[in-house]
């Protein structure tokens, strides 16, 4: 077990499953006290809470005042903020099928929740003169896909927001970075209402067919594991990444072409 974050406090959004749960576990394993925010809990999150270094805060970050309540639970000190909450609804009907309300819901969840939580957490970091904000983006920020057109736009804005903020707060001791995964073994892709199930139903395929095609588009031939994304977040949260800010780190198994 690492102790690189011993004595530090971290806030993680969307912490009950997938990448968020893996990040919560990694930060706690490195010695941090973790405030884990999510709408509901899970067996994995409950197990971490029972160990004593993780506190679960039930919040729906679509509610405007939820960010403040989550940050207040940290007790006035936040060393690390991980903005993870998000959703990627598959738009199998094409662009013309996506309503204004769906656009608003996607942009709010994938962009504005991070804006609100960061706004709430930043004053304590500024007062301390240090802190690390790590936000989960997506390869779709730079490789937009019509199947997730509103998600792609929201994540592109999220990465741009993080880059702009890094320039403002970097001189004040606060680092801001993004981690952009490709396909990851989470419910977002593999769950009952996930991308694979939705796309397969519309295309007359099986979910396994969709997963195989996505895996085949990577150089490594597989999805990333949540723990692999969490390891990258952990590195950026700690002092080993002390001079890294304003950067976007892609973990996609070579999904984005480089030729």
Do 74 and 198 belong to one domain? no
Per-residue pLDDT at 189: 73
Do 191 and 240 belong to one domain? no
* 88 assigned to some structural domain: yes
In order of 42, 102, 166, 186, the CA distances from 122 in angstroms are 28, 29, 12, 29
- Residues 198 and 148: their CA atoms lie apart, in Å, by 12
Which positions ≥6 away from 178 have C-beta within 8 Å? 134, 135, 136, 137, 158, 159, 162, 163, 247, 248, 249
Do 175 and 111 belong to one domain? yes
Do 116 and 219 belong to one domain? no
Do 159 and 47 belong to one domain? yes
**In which domain, by residue range, is 105 found?**
9-182+225-251
* pTM recorded for the entire structure: 0.94
Per-residue pLDDT at 230: 98
* 1 assigned to some structural domain: no
Per-residue pLDDT at 208: 81
Do 177 and 161 belong to one domain? yes
* 32 assigned to some structural domain: yes
Do 34 and 44 belong to one domain? yes
The CATH number linked to 229 is 3.40.50.720
- Residues 55 and 34: their CA atoms lie apart, in Å, by 6
Instruction: Determine the Cα angle at 69 with ends 74 and 82, to 5°.
Output: 55
Do 197 and 137 belong to one domain? no
Do 229 and 136 belong to one domain? yes
What letter would DSSP give residue 109?
Answer: I
State the catalytic residue, choosing from 151, 161, 249, 255: 151
Q: pLDDT averaged over consecutive 10-residue blocks of the chain (259 residues)?
A: 90 97 98 97 96 96 93 96 93 95 97 97 98 97 95 98 98 98 83 76 78 87 95 97 98 87
CB of 80 closer than 8 Å to CB of 134: yes
Domain count, the chain: 2
* 259 assigned to some structural domain: no
Per-residue pLDDT at 199: 76
Do 126 and 104 belong to one domain? yes
Do 199 and 243 belong to one domain? no
Do 34 and 106 belong to one domain? yes
Phi-psi bin for 221: left (phi > 0), alpha (psi -120 to 50), beta? left
Annotated active-site residue 217? The verdict is: no
């Amino acid at each position: 077990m690492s102790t690189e974050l011993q004595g530090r406090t971290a806030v993680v959004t969307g912490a009950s499953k997938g990448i968020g749960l893996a990040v919560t576990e990694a930060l706690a394993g490195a010695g941090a006290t973790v405030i884990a925010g999510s709408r509901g809990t899970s067996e994995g999150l409950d197990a971490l809470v029972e160990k004593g270094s993780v506190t679960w805060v039930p919040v729906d970050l679509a509610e405007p005042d939820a960010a403040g309540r989550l940050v207040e639970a940290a007790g006035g000190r936040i060393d690390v903020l991980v903005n993870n909450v998000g959703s990627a609804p598959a738009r199998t009907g094409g662009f013309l099928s996506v309503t204004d309300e769906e656009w608003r819901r996607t942009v709010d969840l994938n962009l504005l929740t991070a804006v609100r939580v960061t706004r709430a957490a930043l004053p304590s970091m500024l007062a301390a003169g240090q802190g690390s904000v790590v936000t989960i983006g997506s390869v779709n920020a730079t490789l937009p896909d019509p199947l997730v057109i509103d998600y792609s736009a929201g994540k592109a804005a999220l990465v741009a927001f993080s880059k702009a903020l890094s320039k403002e707060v970097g001189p004040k001791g606060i680092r801001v970075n993004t981690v952009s995964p490709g396909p990851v073994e989470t419910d977002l892709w593999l769950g009952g209402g996930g991308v694979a199930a939705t796309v397969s139903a519309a295309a007359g395929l099986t979910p396994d067919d969709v997963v195989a095609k996505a895996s085949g588009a990577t150089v490594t031939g597989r999805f990333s594991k949540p723990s692999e994304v969490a390891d990258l977040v952990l590195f950026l949260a700690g002092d080993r990444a002390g001079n890294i800010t304003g950067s976007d780190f892609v973990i996609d198994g070579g999904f984005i072409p480089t030729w």
